[in-house]
Amino acid sequence: MKTPVRRSLLVLACALAASLLLAGCGDKAAAPAPGGGPALTKVVLQTDWYAQPEHGGFYQALVKGYYRAAGLDVTIEQGGPNAMPGQNIVRGNTQFSIGRSDDLILAASRGIPLVMVGALMQRDPQALIFHPDAAIHGFKDLDGRTVMASPGASWIGFVERKYGVKLSITPLDYGLSRFLANKDLVQQSFITNEPYYLHQQGLDPGVLLLSDAGFSPYRVWYTSRDFIKQHPEVVRAFTEASIRGWSEYLNGEHREADAMIQSLNHSITPEFTTYCVAAMKKYLLVAGDPARGEVIGQIDPVRIEEELKQLTEIGILTQPMQVSDVLDDEFLPAAVRAKARPR
């Protein structure tokens, strides 16, 4: 079973700051195009974990040739426990990666030149799961509860402050055995993941989607500020092809992409893929809420500004930050950018 990697932002910041001494985007090698056409620009996307349906739009763009049609020769490298995708971008080993907008904000606040350029998920898939008889109906009912979660996660301070509760945090172990053995335990999870495995055990857990608390980071793809300056046409081409891939993966036929994901990660089954894609649709994770003008790929500057304010209020962000310090939405298609402006 997978769970996306979660690390201490302090460790990440230190490692990336050190790597700035070695930074350099370098010129991208060109790959011959099929049929003798213009050479393709080689690009590496490193994901945040092993191949998953939650990465499906990128694999769709790859197998359907959307990247190649945009002039790019894209390689998708799987993440993992020691992948350090942000560090690889700063060093110039990779060009794009994916992560949460709050993590990117905190990295940028420490002088790490990472910039988000598009969103693979409009809504954070993180959730809290609990046993059906736990008498939890909302976030206020978490007061005094033991919650297995990533220590220092941004949502903890936000929930405690907003709802006037105190959580007893025990470190997340990325498994489900402790949760199954302890009916009083609440666990951080992904709505696209852990509930599926619990259903396999005959348990239908209660769920609180963390975005419903009012704190909802985007899941984004990002690059370095230097790469944006040196290769804006590559950033634009990658962004537009990725949005096309995600739109088709969510709404169209995606058997080839699923087959590639399953070939790379043998723990992924067709049944799990079906569940995961259905959850992404049900909870409006990728496409967002059309009533709010949200669309695939969009990053709303107003939402990022609100996120900066929230992180400051809970004491995680300790210095002033501007939206432009962490976001460049100029590479999104015009229709997507227009909908992302203040309403």
Q: Final residue of a domain: which of 213, 233, 260?
A: 213
What confidence score (pLDDT) does residue 81 get? 80
Q: How many domains does the chain have?
A: 2
Task: Please indicate, yes or no, if residue 4 is contained in any of the structural domains.
Answer: no
Task: Please indicate, yes or no, if residue 293 is contained in any of the structural domains.
Answer: yes
What confidence score (pLDDT) does residue 83 get? 82
User: Is the same domain home to 82 and 225?
Assistant: yes
Tell me which residue range forms the domain holding 143: 126-213
User: Is the same domain home to 67 and 114?
Assistant: yes
User: Is the same domain home to 144 and 199?
Assistant: yes
What confidence score (pLDDT) does residue 30 get? 60
Task: Please indicate, yes or no, if residue 243 is contained in any of the structural domains.
Answer: yes
Q: How far apart are CA 156 and CA 150, in angstroms?
A: 9
CATH value at residue 195: 3.40.190.10
Between β-strands 96-100 and 126-130, what pairing exists: parallel, antiparallel or unpaired? unpaired
Q: How far is CA 264 from the centre of its chain?
A: 19
Task: Please indicate, yes or no, if residue 101 is contained in any of the structural domains.
Answer: yes
User: Is the same domain home to 106 and 238?
Assistant: yes
Q: Final residue of a domain: which of 153, 184, 213?
A: 213
DSSP-assigned letters across all residues of 189-206: EETTTHHHHHHHTT---E
User: Is the same domain home to 222 and 199?
Assistant: no
Looking at residue 290, its amino acid is P
What confidence score (pLDDT) does residue 85 get? 85
Task: Please indicate, yes or no, if residue 2 is contained in any of the structural domains.
Answer: no
What confidence score (pLDDT) does residue 19 get? 40
User: Is the same domain home to 250 and 325?
Assistant: yes
User: Is the same domain home to 183 and 227?
Assistant: no
User: Is the same domain home to 101 and 55?
Assistant: yes
Between β-strands 206-209 and 126-130, what pairing exists: parallel, antiparallel or unpaired? antiparallel
Q: Final residue of a domain: which of 165, 185, 213?
A: 213
* pLDDT digit string (tens) for the chain, length 343 residues: 444 433 333 334 434 444 433 334 444 556 666 566 679 999 999 999 999 999 999 999 999 999 999 999 999 999 988 888 888 999 999 999 999 999 999 999 999 999 999 999 999 999 999 999 999 999 999 999 999 999 889 999 999 999 999 999 999 998 999 999 999 999 999 999 999 999 999 999 999 999 999 999 999 999 999 999 999 999 999 999 999 999 999 999 999 999 999 999 999 999 999 999 999 999 999 999 999 999 999 999 999 999 999 999 999 999 999 999 999 999 999 989 866 554 4
Task: Please indicate, yes or no, if residue 1 is contained in any of the structural domains.
Answer: no
Q: How many CA atoms lie within 13 A of 97 on its CB side?
A: 29
Q: b/e per residue, 48-86, with b = 16+ CB within 10 A?
A: bbbbbbbbbbbbbbbbbebbbebbbbbebebbeeebbbb
What confidence score (pLDDT) does residue 82 get? 81
User: Is the same domain home to 226 and 87?
Assistant: yes
User: Is the same domain home to 237 and 285?
Assistant: yes
User: Is the same domain home to 254 and 334?
Assistant: yes
User: Is the same domain home to 70 and 182?
Assistant: no
Task: Please indicate, yes or no, if residue 332 is contained in any of the structural domains.
Answer: yes
Task: Please indicate, yes or no, if residue 43 is contained in any of the structural domains.
Answer: yes
